[in-house]
Amino acid sequence: MKILMLTPYLPYPLLSGGQIRTYNLLKKLKDKYEITLFSFIRKDGEKIHIKELEKFCYKVKVFKRRPAWSFKNVLIAGFSPFPFVMISTYLSLKARKAISQELRTGNYDLIHAEPFYMTPNIPLTKIPILLVEQTIEYLVYKKYVDNFKFKFLKPFLYFDVLKLKFWEEFFWRQASSLAAMSGEDKKIMAKVAPKKNIDVVANGVDIEFFNQAKMKKPKVPTVLFVGNFKWLPNKDAAKFLTFEIWPLIKKKIPQAKLWIVGKNPTPEILSLGGKKDVLVDSHVKDIRVAFGEASVLLAPIRNGRGTKYKVLEAMATKLPVVTTPLGIEGIEAKTESEVLVGNGAKNLAELTVRLLKTPELGQRLVSSAYKMIEDKYSWDLISANLDKVYQRLGKKA
């Protein structure tokens, strides 16, 4: 079966959740399908990574994204039916022409677009389209606008959110089939597109890779947060943790340390490390080192849907986890069994302190969580779920 896969990023190196997901699925499915990958890149220097992806793909073609922030893009978005994020970044005449040409000559059985940002570049075609949503994008941006500090700009931003919602839901209805990261996202999509097949193809984790982490007990209780700070929910979580949760933990455990690890920290995120007990680190080359040298992962996620890699990876490393209901969305973990789940700064601080003061609780949680990861979240199992979707749609081609 021949598949054309469209992504808004080159899925290597593995710096974001989307890259991790696509890379591992390509790796697992390479022997069964002939996959051609079309992706956007930010800089020409990213082309050096094409060689790595050609190990799994029949062909890889990239398109350079326009710089997002320009007066022209803002002006066009203001008068366009499309939202700013599509106008500024993903609507590409060059990509659309190349995709049209590829579909005319490639004899494809299926188009896999992930996420919906890629779908405007697909021409009218009889080839089945699988649209995979890694999160519900308009809900992420709505939450961001809800908390935006410049109130005079909010009406304009909310209007852009409405445009984003319109087009995201429009392409759900246009696709041949849909896939979500969690049952919760599936329910949202089903209300808009009730007649569509909607599969849950969750995120997974490389168990063998993370199981090799060397666990080194820290000298002082160490609370870890990890994330790529290009993603708005990670910025929000890091600030929430530092300003609201961390002072409550310090009152109970004065010697504790907070370790914030992640790529692409903004000046605002870097400024969080101004205190001697808070370290912001963007230079950890192997994330297993961070997991191996921490006492607990605290992931106070308040926004952003889909499965959180940081939680899966911590569990695969046998590091105990404290998070929110949103933090375990799409993961079949239960509080007090595989994880501790809470809401609000006070509750999350209390759970973290309890875990730090009760080592036997941590051991029980990580044992149950690791078994759950083995049983349900290996990339072999996740790719098998996607394989079933491909087979079903391929028969309709």
Number of H helices, E strands in the chain: 17, 13
Reading the block at residue 150, the tokens are: 């410049």
DSSP 14: -
Mean pLDDT, residues 295-308? 83
What domain count does the chain have? 2
* Cα 246 to Cα 277: distance, rounded to the nearest angstrom: 10
The answer to whether residues 27 and 113 belong to one domain is yes
The answer to whether residues 192 and 242 belong to one domain is no
- Give the orientation angle of helix 359-376 with respect to helix 309-316, to 10 degrees: 110
Provide the pLDDT for residue 267: 86
pLDDT band at 123 (very low <50, low <70, confident <90, very high): very high
Mean of pLDDT over the chain = 90
The answer to whether residues 120 and 265 belong to one domain is no
Q: Per-residue pLDDT tens for 104-116?
A: 998 999 999 998 8
Provide the pLDDT for residue 122: 94
Q: Which domain holds residue 28?
A: 2-204+379-394
Strands 129-133 and 177-180: parallel
The answer to whether residues 245 and 195 belong to one domain is no
Question: CB of 294 within 8 A of CB of 223?
Answer: yes
Q: Per-residue pLDDT tens for 216-244?
A: 778 899 999 998 888 788 888 999 999 99
User: Own/partner pairs for 162-169, CB < 8 Å, 24+ apart?
Assistant: 163/81, 163/82, 163/83, 164/83, 164/85, 164/86, 164/137, 164/138, 165/138, 167/82, 167/83, 167/86, 167/116, 167/120, 168/116, 168/136, 168/137, 168/138, 169/193
Q: Per-residue pLDDT tens for 210-220?
A: 987 777 778 89
DSSP per-residue codes, 80-101: SSS-HHIIIII--HHHHHHHHH
Reading the block at residue 375, the tokens are: 């049983």
The answer to whether residues 233 and 326 belong to one domain is yes
Question: CB of 310 within 8 A of CB of 262?
Answer: no
The answer to whether residues 223 and 93 belong to one domain is no
pLDDT band at 72 (very low <50, low <70, confident <90, very high): low
pLDDT of 54 > 80? The answer is yes
DSSP 396: T
The answer to whether residues 349 and 387 belong to one domain is no
pLDDT band at 375 (very low <50, low <70, confident <90, very high): very high
The answer to whether residues 146 and 50 belong to one domain is yes
DSSP per-residue codes, 162-180: HHHHHHHHHHHHHSSEEEE
Question: CB of 63 within 8 A of CB of 96?
Answer: no
pLDDT band at 75 (very low <50, low <70, confident <90, very high): low
* Cα 218 to Cα 173: distance, rounded to the nearest angstrom: 51
pLDDT of 66 > 90? The answer is no
Measured CA distances, 54 to 10, 19, 22, 301, 387 (Å): 12, 15, 13, 35, 20
Provide the pLDDT for residue 215: 77
Residue 315's CATH number: 3.40.50.2000
Question: CB of 10 within 8 A of CB of 41?
Answer: yes
The answer to whether residues 279 and 217 belong to one domain is yes
Provide the pLDDT for residue 74: 61
- Residues of the chain with pLDDT > 90, as a percent, come to 63
What value does the CA radius of gyration of the chain take, rounded to a whole number of Å? 21
The answer to whether residues 170 and 240 belong to one domain is no
The answer to whether residues 128 and 218 belong to one domain is no
| Predicted model pTM | 0.86
The answer to whether residues 146 and 15 belong to one domain is yes
Question: CB of 295 within 8 A of CB of 223?
Answer: yes
pLDDT of 69 > 60? The answer is no
Provide the pLDDT for residue 394: 83
Alpha-helical regions (H) of the chain: 17-29, 50-53, 71-79, 84-85, 93-106, 137-146, 154-174, 183-192, 207-210, 232-240, 246-252, 267-270, 287-292, 309-316, 344-357, 359-376, 379-394
Q: Which position has the higher pLDDT, 112 or 302?
A: 112
